[in-house]
Structure 1
Amino acid sequence: MKKQSERQRNAARGESSGTRPLHGPLDFIAEDHMREREVCALIDRIVASASMEQADLDHVLTFLEAVLPQHLADEEIDLFPLMLKRCAPEDEIEKVIDRLQSDHGHALADAPAIAAIIQGIGASPSKPSQSDCALLSDFAHHARRHLILENAVILPIARARLTKKDLRLMERHMLERRGLSSPLGE
């Protein structure tokens, strides 16, 4: 069994990797976005054939296999439907959400192949093939583009449009998905 660092265990449980307090589900989603950026940076290091610690490889795997599916569920099941319900027509949020949902489908479809490449690197410390590097680079590039849209458009509009009741419901569902009972970020 792979030994996990405290940070990896926290990420798998959906806990904050930073020291700043989280204030509800939108901050938690923003923190997941920071985790994803960290994973993209690690993927870039793999592609550049920088020396990788097993803990870093495990961090990427934990994110792909545990954190990413929960995070995407948070957005697909709660955030996006609530935004569609609360946003005004001039927000034109439908088009943005359609694009993001398409991105989510690609991320979920691609994550197992990316995880398999990472597992192969951990099993044999050889350099990934050129085609594997291309897949890794493409995955990280698309993830970053996706995060820009979510951070610049979705989260600010969600903070403006969602009600306290919406946020409580969202938080309850996020906790249930993670098997937790205490408020997020605590």
Structure 2
Amino acid sequence: MVDRTSKIERNTNETSIKLEINLDGTGINEINTGIGFFDHMLNLFSFHSKIDIKLLANGDLEVCDHHTVEDVGIALGEAFKKAIGDKKGINRYGTFHLPMDETLALVSLDISGRAFLVFDCDFNREKVGELSTEMVEEFFRAFAFNAGITLHCKVLYGSNDHHKIEAIFKGFGRAIKEAKHRDKLNGIPSTKGML
């Protein structure tokens, strides 16, 4: 089977990002964005998706976390799109309900080539650690639009923002794991013959 790895280097006046991913890994990772809680969420995503991630991001955190979080989403989305290739043999769809204590999150996605995000998640706090809660949606938007996937994230219920965000990232990892899985006997998973 074709190797599904990619490397991205993305440099702007606001951030510098070096990224390597392996879609068929074991979930090992080396992640440093300078935002501890964000690193933790990306670590969980890597583990649950079984995508190996090596990521070093340096951003203008003295301004705020916006540019770093969004640009990491962009880079991860670009790397995913590059690594997934022609999509031959993949499951294409992935859906996962993830419980975490009092919280239940739903993540459902389609590696469709059509970028779209529905994000139905409410947070009460401005930040968890050094991650602005408003940036969670921005991360998933950046990933979805640069990966070319349709992505739906919903917190069905819950009260603790840490649990809500963690459930979303873990659920995203599990849904991606399901969708990227490939069977060499399958062709392109679309009646159109292409994605």
Same fold (TM over 0.5): no
Question: Hey, which of these two has a bigger chunk of helix by percent?
Answer: 1
Q: TM-score, normalised by structure 2?
A: 0.31
Q: Which gives a bigger RCO, structure 1 or 2 (Cα 8 Å, sep 6+)?
A: 1
TM-score (normalised: structure 1): 0.32
